[in-house]
Structure 1
Amino acid sequence: MSSRINIEKVTTNVKKVLMIAAENDAIKGAKVGGMADVIRDLPPALAKVDVYVDVAMPNYGFIAKDNNADFIAKVVVKFGANLETIDVYKIPAPYLTASDSQAKNSQAQNGQLTSSVYLFDHHFFNSPDNQVYTEGCADRPFAEDATKFALFNLAVAQAYVDGVIKPVDTLHMHDWHAGMLVMLRAFAPEYAALKGIPCVFSIHNLALQGIRPIRDDVSSFTAWFPELSRLLTQEQKAQICDPRYPHCINPMKMGIELSDKVHLVSPTYANEVLMPSDHQNGFFGGEGLEGSLQDKHHRGDIVGILNGCVYDESNSKSNTKVERIKAIKPVTTKDISQVFEGAQQAVIKWLGKSEWIKSVDQIALSRLQILTTKQSKPSTECDFLMTSVGRLTDQKVLLLRQPHANSGSSSSANSSSTLQALLDNLKQLKPKAVFILLGSGDKQIAAEFQKVGANNDNFVFLNGYDDALSSTLYQFGELFMMPSSFEPCGISQLLAMKHGQVCIAHGVGGLRDTIADKQNGWLFEGNNLQHQSEQLLLVMKNALSLHNDKAAEYLSMRQSASEVRFTWHHAAKQYLSKLYGE
């Protein structure tokens, strides 16, 4: 393929960055996890420190149409045995306001201060239900998605050297989905010009790595890049192969080994990933890639920068922006009634999207109707809400699934769980309290929580996601549960704290960096899964006892939580100085 552009640095007092990512919550339908929040919130913060971000992402079959995108080019690449044509569309960055993109100097006149989203369209990138990721088979994990992102990465590289994408100062790749672009930059002769552009690789979740075979599968390295696979030296192959499965390539490892800097989304997580994981004892660290991360760390190329959160702002008399800190008030029964009503509306919407009524939704709706009726009677109304919002994965809820230490059984299928013990303690200390858990994901976890929901009148399990409902839960809960086994940064605890809800969280990753134990929340630890679960229950008892016995002190903790600020502006300044070479 031809390389028509003369790749050079942008020669202005501003910087241009191209981010390559699978998700972007600035665009409807393009969010799955926390990465999407970062791609939504970080670029506008960077614009305020003169870093302007373009984003490249797959179109997924619907984004260009839904956003009236402009078609700008076709890109042709050799992928496997075929020539594939990818259409490229462009839309203005949806996250920049007119004032953000306003010219700051004379260079603005040639468009160097504008930001865009480049959308790459090919049938490999589409799914029948317009989903970002494909649910693969257990015996071929990541097969469809790895092929999709291999072609996407190749198309982005070609679009850059063809001049379809404007020159930038830095390439910034996010998670394994962009790892093969780092590899192409390092090893593919036709993209050697990309080596002149500094490359940053951000890790949002090290547990997902996109591992695929080297050969003997239609979704394999040699199937995607047959010519390149023959050119690689043994040393180069070692840089892209998984250390545990030498017959497999690892896109996450590619990004770590072959980028200039590796960014982790909190300082504590940046230290945790340098140590080997010990899953049996509840520690999630380097997930097999600690060797590569340690090498990078020894060279000074590992950077931990905490993600930010968006806070309400208003203009002061000096026209500078200040955060509005509101006095936190006790949650009322009227507030709780609003939560129940919002939850019912969310479940009804979910029911309307399906031809069949799912038992989990029927159980939740029935429970909510009973609770709503009780709210009309002062003697039975709910007076305390404990909440949790998050994906149903073992990362988030493994501890809740652990057999309770006093159950007398080592089998989680035949014993009481930590979740059940938690609900029992809640019933004892707060007889009229309710725990609402909102989340979707793993079907087995959902089935377990469905049974718990059917057997406990103080637990509502909502198997789905709804933006309005999640906001209501953050706003009107008084105790937020976040027992993640690992948490690279976490956004749920920041959203809960912003609204004055204190959190109980495992003292790992970004949770440790954002929650001050016994000041604006509670942290628990433990040297194995059982110990961690025991400490979770103990801390919850202490929190509920404080609310019962010292309500003013508990309210003061809620106020402290609401006043904490982890701003994207602060994070953006660190990106500029530590990642983009201020």
Structure 2
Amino acid sequence: MKNILFVASEGVPFIKTGGLADVVGSLPKCIDKQYFDVRVILPKYTCMSQEMKDKLSYVTHFYMDFHWKNEYVGILYAEVEGVKYYFIDNEMFFNGFRPYSDKALFEIEKFAFFSKAALSILPVIDFRPDLIHCHDWQTGLIPVYLKERFQGSDFYRGIKSVMTIHNLKFQGKWSIKEVQDITGLPSYYFTPDKLELFKDANLLKGGLVYADAITTVSDTYAEEIKTEFYGEQLDGLMRARSNSLRGIVNGIDYEDFNPETDIHIEYKYNAVNFRKEKVKNKRALQAELGLAQDDKMMMIGIVSRLTDQKGFDLIAYVMDELCQDSVQLVILGTGEERYENMFRHFDWKYNDKISANIYYSDALSHKIYAASDAFLMPSLFEPCGLSQLMSLRYGTVPIVRETGGLKDTVQPYNEYEGTGTGFSFTNYNAHEMLNTIRYAERIYYDKKREWNKIVDRGMAADFSWNVSAAKYQEMYDWLIG
């Protein structure tokens, strides 16, 4: 039996702000229990729902030397769907209405504490991992501490570490002087070949330098981050460590996202009967959102953070032109004010064609996946992306830009060969995107049988976690030996 420990700043079903939580919640469930004992460590946030807090039981607590003080470290435990979770409790660091604050230095101190505490509780909970799987910058100090502070004891010697990059944009950067003071690491660690990057200390970089292996969430993104454009100033390091770097595409939870059993949608359907049943969800959503009732009108869904990364500057540029087409647009999400207001404006101007829902709702997101004919995702960069996988699962045809995970998971339609699961464009250009949307419209309206075959192929694709889990297991075996 090999012991694997996941450490992350969020995880479903306890706390979620983004795709990271889905990975941390789903992947451990799919790892083969016969060969691996997988456990997870998360912070105990006071903003967790009461329902989830009620599942936790107190284990013990101790005090740990951190940032010149003795800090309280509480340990709680829960078991959900066969996975053992441990929670690190410290009210000073983990209180507040949200898991993350906008105070950068506090966040660095908080996750430095969390990283050290995650390692310190292991002998107390009597679990010695063969490998620690760290996620994003919040856990970047674990591989560093493992080599610097904990190697001296027999318990920790030989524990391997893997660092997974979910989004290279977020790195945990601050001045060396203060990070050194917080972490207690000797100055030896703050040099350009270790934690220093352009005169700052960088927690993610520390993890990437010291981890035994690095993964990211798609093959294409693993290649892209070796280039200057996508590398966020770490492209040199990614090239230097390219032998240790691999891309493994994320999956989605096929139980949660299943049009046959989805509790959020009124009319269930599957790959066999979608031609008759799927449209009923469109009717229901048109009625709910006050859009024109028209079965034949092509509905395009968008469920996203409204930010530049997601390509909304392209959409803003051609939105007036797009509204002249015979399409309905349903938008769900929050983000930059200018995009929120842009969608509100078009909702007001074309009320029966555009529905702007500037908030977040899990239930409505499922309804949009089920009701829409196509799903638009023109990202500037996209490490993996989960929305296009959900779209495929619901028979909603993705229209994406060929970057990162979008390129790896959506096969562009080829009308001559009769292949493909969606539509894609290459350059980050608004009119190239618009031409691709209009090409999709043409197939939808003029070649309905071809469109339905695209849906067939999309619904037949397998992006469940089982496929990805097998690749992670292979990597664990290779590292642990």
TM-score using structure 1 length:
0.74
Flag as ranges the 4+ runs of structure 1 deviating above 6 A. none
Who is 1:460 aligned against? 355
Structure 1 residue corresponding to 2:125, chosen from 129, 147, 164 = 164
Q: Give the letter aligned to residue 127 of structure 2.
A: K
Structure 2 residue corresponding to 1:79, chosen from 66, 82, 93 = 66
Structure 2 residue corresponding to 1:60, chosen from 39, 45, 48 = 45
Conserved 8 A contact 1:502-1:558: yes
Instruction: Report Cα offsets for 1:145-199 as digits up to 9, x if no partner.
Output: 2221111111112112x43351111100000010012221122267665351010
Are 1:181 and 2:142 an aligned pair?
A: yes
Q: Give the letter aligned to residue 343 of structure 2.
A: F
Show structure 1 runs of 5+ residues with no match: 1-13, 97-114, 137-141, 278-284, 315-323, 343-367, 402-416
Who is 1:35 aligned against? 20
With over 3 angstroms needed to count, the CA separation of the structure-2 counterparts of 1:388 and 1:249, relative to structure 1, is: same
With over 3 angstroms needed to count, the CA separation of the structure-2 counterparts of 1:397 and 1:267, relative to structure 1, is: same
Structure 2 residue corresponding to 1:301, chosen from 244, 259, 281 = 244
**Alpha-carbon separation, structure 2, partners of 1:445 and 1:340:** 23
Who is 1:439 aligned against? 333
With over 3 angstroms needed to count, the CA separation of the structure-2 counterparts of 1:17 and 1:206, relative to structure 1, is: same
Instruction: Report Cα offsets for 1:514-543 as digits up to 9, x if no partner.
Output: 1110111011011xx4xx222111100111
Structure 1 residue corresponding to 2:235, chosen from 276, 290, 294 = 290
Who is 1:396 aligned against? 310
Who is 1:132 aligned against? 99
Q: Give the letter aligned to residue 392 of structure 1.
A: L
**Alpha-carbon separation, structure 2, partners of 1:330 and 1:59:** 46
C-alpha displacement at 1:256, in angstroms?
A: 0.8
Q: Give the letter aligned to residue 311 of structure 1.
A: Y
SS of 1:512 mapped into structure 2: helix
Q: Give the letter aligned to residue 542 of structure 1.
A: Y
**Alpha-carbon separation, structure 2, partners of 1:79 and 1:188:** 12
Q: Give the letter aligned to residue 181 of structure 2.
A: A
With over 3 angstroms needed to count, the CA separation of the structure-2 counterparts of 1:535 and 1:213, relative to structure 1, is: same
Show structure 2 runs of 5+ residues with no match: 261-269, 414-419
Q: Percent identity?
A: 26
Q: Give the letter aligned to residue 359 of structure 2.
A: G
Which deviates the most, 189-198 or 489-498? 189-198
Are 1:208 and 2:208 an aligned pair?
A: no
Conserved 8 A contact 1:185-1:194: yes
Q: Give the letter aligned to residue 500 of structure 1.
A: G
Who is 2:375 aligned against? 480
Who is 2:192 aligned against? 238
Q: Give the letter aligned to residue 71 of structure 2.
A: E
Residue-pair matches, total = 457
Who is 2:88 aligned against? 120
With over 3 angstroms needed to count, the CA separation of the structure-2 counterparts of 1:123 and 1:389, relative to structure 1, is: same
SS of 1:133 mapped into structure 2: coil
Who is 1:524 aligned against? 425
Which deviates the most, 463-472 or 119-128? 119-128
**Alpha-carbon separation, structure 2, partners of 1:504 and 1:270:** 22
**Alpha-carbon separation, structure 1, partners of 2:277 and 2:318:** 24
| Superposed CA RMSD | 2.4
C-alpha displacement at 1:23, in angstroms?
A: 1.1
Conserved 8 A contact 1:393-1:441: yes
- What are the within-5 Å matches in structure 2 for residues 4-403 of structure 1? 14-27=1-14, 30-48=15-33, 50-63=35-48, 66-92=53-79, 94-96=80-82, 115-129=83-97, 131-136=98-103, 142-160=104-122, 162-188=123-149, 194-215=156-177, 220-226=178-184, 228=185, 231-233=186-188, 237-243=191-197, 245-246=198-199, 248-277=200-229, 285-297=230-242, 300-311=243-254, 325-329=271-275, 334-340=280-286, 368-369=289-290, 371=291, 374-375=292-293, 383-400=297-314
Conserved 8 A contact 1:57-1:118: yes
Structure 2 residue corresponding to 1:418, chosen from 292, 314, 317 = 317
Are 1:469 and 2:456 an aligned pair?
A: no
C-alpha displacement at 1:578, in angstroms?
A: 2.0
Conserved 8 A contact 2:8-2:42: yes
**Alpha-carbon separation, structure 1, partners of 2:131 and 2:167:** 22
SS of 2:46 mapped into structure 1: coil
Who is 1:107 aligned against? none
TM-score using structure 2 length:
0.89
Conserved 8 A contact 1:328-1:555: no
Q: Give the letter aligned to residue 443 of structure 2.
A: L
Conserved 8 A contact 2:334-2:359: yes
C-alpha displacement at 1:63, in angstroms?
A: 4.3
SS of 2:156 mapped into structure 1: helix
**Alpha-carbon separation, structure 1, partners of 2:287 and 2:121:** 49
Who is 1:409 aligned against? none
With over 3 angstroms needed to count, the CA separation of the structure-2 counterparts of 1:84 and 1:48, relative to structure 1, is: closer
Who is 2:266 aligned against? none
Instruction: Report Cα offsets for 1:480-523 as digits up to 9, x if no partner.
Output: 00111111111100001101111100101111111110111011
With over 3 angstroms needed to count, the CA separation of the structure-2 counterparts of 1:507 and 1:251, relative to structure 1, is: same
Conserved 8 A contact 1:399-1:484: no
C-alpha displacement at 1:223, in angstroms?
A: 3.1
**Alpha-carbon separation, structure 2, partners of 1:395 and 1:195:** 41
Are 1:507 and 2:402 an aligned pair?
A: yes
**Alpha-carbon separation, structure 2, partners of 1:266 and 1:250:** 23
Q: Give the letter aligned to residue 337 of structure 1.
A: R
**Alpha-carbon separation, structure 2, partners of 1:207 and 1:195:** 32
Instruction: Report Cα offsets for 1:46-81 as digits up to 9, x if no partner.
Output: 035632311111101254962331211213222222
C-alpha displacement at 1:19, in angstroms?
A: 0.5
Q: Give the letter aligned to residue 559 of structure 1.
A: D
Conserved 8 A contact 2:318-2:434: no
SS of 1:35 mapped into structure 2: helix
**Alpha-carbon separation, structure 2, partners of 1:488 and 1:296:** 18
With over 3 angstroms needed to count, the CA separation of the structure-2 counterparts of 1:440 and 1:64, relative to structure 1, is: closer
Conserved 8 A contact 1:388-1:438: yes
SS of 1:427 mapped into structure 2: coil
Q: Give the letter aligned to residue 149 of structure 2.
A: A
Q: Give the letter aligned to residue 87 of structure 1.
A: G
With over 3 angstroms needed to count, the CA separation of the structure-2 counterparts of 1:473 and 1:273, relative to structure 1, is: same
Q: Name the larger-Rg structure.
A: 1
With over 3 angstroms needed to count, the CA separation of the structure-2 counterparts of 1:241 and 1:461, relative to structure 1, is: same
SS of 1:571 mapped into structure 2: helix
**Alpha-carbon separation, structure 2, partners of 1:562 and 1:168:** 38
Instruction: Report Cα offsets for 1:203-255 as digits up to 9, x if no partner.
Output: 1000111111112xxxx3133134x3xx332x653344343x21x11111111
Who is 1:553 aligned against? 450
Instruction: Report Cα offsets for 1:428-465 as digits up to 9, x if no partner.
Output: 3x1xx310111123334323333333333322111121
Who is 2:324 aligned against? 427
